[in-house]
Amino acid sequence: MKTKLHITVLLITILTACATTPTGRSQLIFMPDHELDSMGLQAFDNLKKEKTTSNSEQITQFVQCISNAITSEVDGDWEVVVFEDETLNAFALPGKKIGVHTGLVNLVDNQDQLASVIGHEVGHVLAKHGNERMSQKMGVQMGISLVTAVAAPQTALGQTAISLLGVGAQYGVIMPFSRLHESEADFIGLDLMAKAGFNPLESITLWKKMAQASQGAQPAEFLSTHPSHATRIEDLQAQMPQALKLQQQANASGKTPHCLK
Interval 22-49: pLDDT, tens: 877 777 676 778 888 888 898 899 889 9
pLDDT of residue 165: 63
Domain ranges of the chain: 29-252
Give the predicted TM-score (pTM) of the model: 0.77
User: What are the residues facing 106 on neighbouring strands?
Assistant: none
| Known catalytic membership, residue 121 | yes
Instruction: From 180, 173, 199, select the one nearest 101 (Cα to Cα).
Output: 173
Whether the pLDDT of residue 15 is over 60: the answer is: no
Instruction: From 83, 87, 80, 91, select the one nearest 53 (Cα to Cα).
Output: 83
Amino acid at the residue 99 = G
Whether the pLDDT of residue 159 is over 90: the answer is: no
pLDDT of residue 175: 47
Chain segment 215-227, per-residue pLDDT in tens: 654 444 444 445 5
Instruction: From 44, 10, 13, 34, select the one nearest 147 (Cα to Cα).
Output: 34
For the segment 177-196, the average pLDDT, to the nearest whole number, is 88
Q: What is the residue-averaged pLDDT of the chain? A: 79
Chain segment 108-139, per-residue pLDDT in tens: 999 999 999 999 999 999 998 887 777 766 55
Whether the pLDDT of residue 204 is over 80: the answer is: yes
Q: Count CA atoms within 13 Å of residue 186 on its CB side.
A: 29
Cβ 112 vs Cβ 261: under 8 Å: no
Strands 26-28 and 18-20: antiparallel
Among 35, 73, 121, 202, the one annotated catalytic: 121
Greater pLDDT, 195 or 168: 195
Other C-beta atoms lying within 10 Å of the C-beta of residue 234: 12
Distance CA 100, CA 53 (A): 10
pLDDT of residue 62: 98
For the segment 93-120, the average pLDDT, to the nearest whole number, is 96
pLDDT of residue 81: 98
Other C-beta atoms lying within 10 Å of the C-beta of residue 256: 12
What's the sign of the alpha-carbon dihedral 233, 239, 241, 245? negative
Whether the pLDDT of residue 146 is over 60: the answer is: no
Greater pLDDT, 101 or 1: 101
Cβ 161 vs Cβ 137: under 8 Å: no
pLDDT of residue 34: 86
Q: Cα 243–245–248 angle (5° rounding)?
A: 110
